[in-house]
Each structure stands twice: as C-alpha cells, then as structure tokens.
Structure 1
Amino acid sequence: MTYGGHELVYETHGSGPRVTVLVHGLLLDAHLSRALAMALAGSGAHQVVLLELLGHGRSDRPVDPSLHRIDSYAQQVVALLDHLEVDEAVIGGTSLGANVALQAAAAAPERVRGLILEMPVLEWAGPAAAALFVPLLLGVRFGRPVAELVTAVVRRLPRTRIGPLDTFLNAASMRPAEIAAVLHGIVIGPLAPRVDERRVIQVPSLIVGHRRDALHPFSDAEHLAEQLPNDRLIRARSAFELRTRPTRLTGEICAFLDEVWRPQVAGGRSARSR
C-alpha cells in the first residue's frame, strides 16, 4: 500500500473476521511476530496483519524524521485499516509498537477494538532510552564511515530463518542515514499519549511486562495498568518468553482476543489479573 507517496509493506496471516494488527519494535520488522501471527491465525477466527512501519523492514525508508514520529506511525496504522477496509481492529505491538498502538487508540478510538501492549516504553524508561538512543544517533550521524562499513558487512551475512534472530540482523543491516532518521523522529515526537489521554482509552487492553530490563521496566507496565481503565496486566518471565517459549503467553493472548470480540465487552470492563 502507499502512504504519503511511500510504500508501506504488510503481510496477512489467516482470513478470519476478527482483525488484529501487530507492530514490531524499533528498527525491527515483521519477523519478530510472525510465529505469533501464525499461531493466532491457526484458530480460523483471526486475521493477523503484520505492518512494517516506514523506515523498517521491506517498507520504504525515507530520511525525513517527521515521518518517524510515534504519532506519524500511528497514522500509518490507521491508514492500513483504511486500505484493508476494516472498521475496527485489535492493535498490538512490542516496545515501539506498543507505544504506536497506544497512540493509535488515543488518536482514533473508534477504530480500535482492543490493545495488546508488550513491553511499552514510557516515563520510567526515559533515562535508559536516552542513554541508549542518543549515543546511537550521534554515532550513526557523525561516525558514518565506520557505521557504513559495519552495516555493509552485516548485510552480507546469511539469514538463519529464525525469526527473532533475523529481525535483529536486518536491523543491524540498515544504512546509517536510515537509522538516524528513525531515531531522530522518535526523539522529536511524543513518546506516547499523555497520561490524561491514556486515562480515557476505554478499550480492553492486555499489557505484558517483565522485570530486569531498564529499557522496558516493569514499573512502566504497572503504571500503564493503573492509567488504563480496562486492562489486564501479565508478567512475562523474560523479554524473550513470547518468542522462545510462547505457549503460555500465546494462550493468554488468544483468551484475551476471544474476550475482546464478545459483543458485551464493547461497553464493559474486563477483569484485571496480576
């Protein structure tokens, strides 16, 4: 599909009537959630769409930072729904993708049936995010010759066909100017909806957090659970549980989707679990 003159790539798994859109993490791609998409689609009830945002994966990679703001990414999600002629969908994402899903719910609540928010990056992650992203941004901008050499080497490496590993190899293959544009856009735009905007997001929300990760502190997940009026909070055993030992969390997500698509959920409040 085309968005603002740029090509946005997505892939669809399943053909069920219940649509879920999943968004990857920062600099990553659809490989990250392909196994989850296939598992959800396997029930026959769900159609799962993996969107690769501008600057990521197979989508175009414009170097205009304004196209890489979180609010711009949320607009890309809504544009995908328009393209698919879908009135409403569950929107989910990991890390950056979770923030994009939140922003989409704040900007276009009538298009969002529910939210799956894995490892959101919010206020408590600010210092760690700055410590990671600012040096990386400066490095790819001012150390471009070295960065070009490194990324060129990684582009030549064979892929493993292990989705989560390949998504990180693909991220490390991006050209420095592309990485810089994405990071610049994240820095200049809103990280997520304001707290007052989050408090009025009424749709059912499944929040997945974990401990021992400064970039995705469990405190962010806990605070978000307090802010959203209709949430369920689950603690993952690690940042990698959904990719390496997915049975438990995939079951939780399937149960959540079944609940979200029941007619009575639209105006109600789902139970919260800790």
Structure 2
Amino acid sequence: MLVSERIGQFFIEGESGRDRVEYTEFGSGESWVVLIHGQLMTRRMQQPLARALAAHGLHVLTLDLLGHGRSDRPADPLAYSTTGFAEQVVALLDHAGADQAVIGGTSLGANVSLEVAAIAPERVRGLLLEMPVLDNAVEAGIVATAPLMFAARYLPLTITALRRLTRPVPRGLVPFWTGVALDVFNQRGDAMAAVIHGVFFGRMAPPSKQRRRITAPALVIGHAADPVHPAADAAMLAKELPNGRFVGAHSIVEWRLRPARLDREAVEFAQECWEEPVATEPARTPPGVADMSKAAGRRRARRTRPAT
C-alpha cells in the first residue's frame, strides 16, 4: 500500500541558539506514532517500519534528533542529553498538533522514548521500545562509545576522511541497509564528540524507580547475543513497566532483514494503543521533572513543510 510521505522542519531554542530539526511524516489521521533512531544514526533507519505502520492507517513521524542526520549539529556538549532529546520529541508533537502519540525507538531512541514518558506522560499513548540501553549495558557501552569519542575529539581527521570517502556514494544505488550504514559515517568530528559526550556523561534513561511509575502500555523488544543492547535489559524493563510486554527477536538482524513478524507485532500494538480509551487519571509526573515537562510544552515550533 502506497502512503504519502512529506518532509518538514521546525526550530527549537537551546543552549546553542536557534536550531533546526528535520522530520518525515508518513500517512495521515489522528493515530500518531513517533519513531526515534539510534545514536549517530538517522531517521532513515526507521523508514521501513514507518511505512509499514502508515500502510495500516497510522500517522507516523520520524525525526533526526539534534546532532544527527539533516538536523543542525551544534558542537557544544551542553546541547545534547537524553532529556533534551525527549523535549525535542515533545516539540515535534506540538508542531504537528498531536496531543498524544505512541512513542518508540531503537537503542538511544528507546531511552529517549522512556524520557518522554517521564517528562510528559500525558503525551504518551504507548511505548514501542527496541534494544533499550540500561543497567546491564554499562560496561559494553563504555567500550563501544569511548573510542568513538576519543577519535572524534583528538583524531578528527579520521572522521573527516571517512565522511569524504563515503558521502559521494549514491544511497539509491546500494542496498537500503548499506545506505543506512553509510549515513552513520557522515559525521563531523566536533559535533560527533559533543553528542557522545553529552549523552555519555548525562542521564541515559529514567532510573528504575521512575520507570516503574510509567503506566503507558509498552512493547519491549530485545535481541539475543547483543552485548551493547542485552536482552536482559529489555526483559527487565518489560517487568518494571506496569503494562509492559516483552518480545524476543530471533537475532540482532531479524527486524532489519526479515521484518514481517516484528512489523506485525508493532502494528498490532500501535493499533491496540489507539483502540483503548484514554485513562481518566493520567500518570503522576515524578518529582523533579514537572518543570521540564512544562518547558518542553512551551517549545512551540513554527511549521514549515518543504515539498519532497
């Protein structure tokens, strides 16, 4: 089924000034879903799932978080944090005129989705979480990200050389996931170092006590044999969330190369979230994040929609 796709942009005020954030909109209607990419990746990685959801009547938004893809990339680490990314998602909802959405993502995107549920629970219809990075991923996360930050900070020529080598490759002439990988190589050393620094030394996700207060329905997908995104984290999160359910992927690449089963799980979950009546009493915002929720709500964006 063919669905409409449109590119848009909005602007946010942050520590570095006025920054531009770009997104893609799939389909139409009032059953909103927001999909968030992984760290150093782009919104293009969520395109197949976005199209599958939109083909079943859901209205999907994918965005490039600040510092990623076609959004602005300030070189200040203060511009980046998981909570700051969550505020960008809330700003996107405001910009699109969506009161609520199913919020989901992969890796960093899953953690950002949890932050949205923490700072603005009234905006979350459900959570679609793949490969969250929590307590069991600390050591592997340090090993994986510290060398990248070191190279970006102290050996920026390596990042520039990789970008110049891979950027000219036409994405339409290579397999889709090869193109997604090439997008990851399209980095700028100063911004890349700032993104990793901001996320690495900040709060990665709401703590366990706070996660247990998130009452939105949640589908949590975990992968076996993935040390950076251990299935134990996903299973633990599904147990912590009062309305969480765990689904195990057969492998790390199942949703990328054989997506039918997990696409079906995601579509059915998102549809169920919108079929269920809204709770009469929204979840209580935990102490200390109420002000952040109000600030996120004030980040109204000026709507601009260039044609694709």
TM-score for the superposition, normalised by structure 2: 0.84
Identity of aligned residues (%): 44
1:157, distance to aligned residue in structure 2 (A): 2.6
Name the counterpart of 2:261: 248
Name the counterpart of 1:71: 83
1:267, distance to aligned residue in structure 2 (A): 6.8
Q: Would you say the 8 A contact 1:259–1:265 is kept in 2?
A: no
Q: Would you say the 8 A contact 2:106–2:131 is kept in 1?
A: yes
Name the counterpart of 1:101: 113
Structure 1 residue 218 and structure 2 residue 227: aligned? no
Structure 2 residue identity aligned to 1:110: E
Cα distance change of structure 1 residues 161 and 59 upon mapping to structure 2, 3 Å threshold:
farther
1:194, distance to aligned residue in structure 2 (A): 0.9
1:95, distance to aligned residue in structure 2 (A): 0.4
- CA distance in structure 1 between the partners assigned to 2:157 and 2:174 by the alignment: 30
- CA distance in structure 2 between the partners assigned to 1:146 and 1:18 by the alignment: 44
Alignment: residue pair count: 267
- CA distance in structure 2 between the partners assigned to 1:112 and 1:161 by the alignment: 36
1:26-41 to 2 correspondence within 5 Å? 26-41=39-54
Of stretches 70-79 and 164-173 in structure 1, the one that deviates more from structure 2 is 164-173
Of structures 1 and 2, the one scoring higher in RCO (CA 8 A, sep 6+) is 2
Name the counterpart of 2:126: 114
1:229-248 to 2 correspondence within 5 Å? 229-248=242-261
TM-score for the superposition, normalised by structure 1: 0.94
Q: Would you say the 8 A contact 2:30–2:98 is kept in 1?
A: no
Which consecutive unaligned segments of at least 5 residues does structure 1 have? 269-274
- CA distance in structure 2 between the partners assigned to 1:163 and 1:107 by the alignment: 34
Cα distance change of structure 1 residues 265 and 208 upon mapping to structure 2, 3 Å threshold:
farther
1:236, distance to aligned residue in structure 2 (A): 0.5
- CA distance in structure 2 between the partners assigned to 1:181 and 1:172 by the alignment: 16
Structure 1 residue 3 and structure 2 residue 16: aligned? no
3-state SS of paired residue (1:261) = helix
What CA RMSD, in Å, does the superposition of the two structures yield over aligned residues?
1.5
- CA distance in structure 1 between the partners assigned to 2:20 and 2:80 by the alignment: 14
Structure 2 residue identity aligned to 1:18: S
Structure 1 residue 23 and structure 2 residue 36: aligned? yes
1:199-214 to 2 correspondence within 5 Å? 199-214=212-227
Of stretches 140-149 and 155-164 in structure 1, the one that deviates more from structure 2 is 155-164
Q: Would you say the 8 A contact 1:55–1:62 is kept in 2?
A: yes
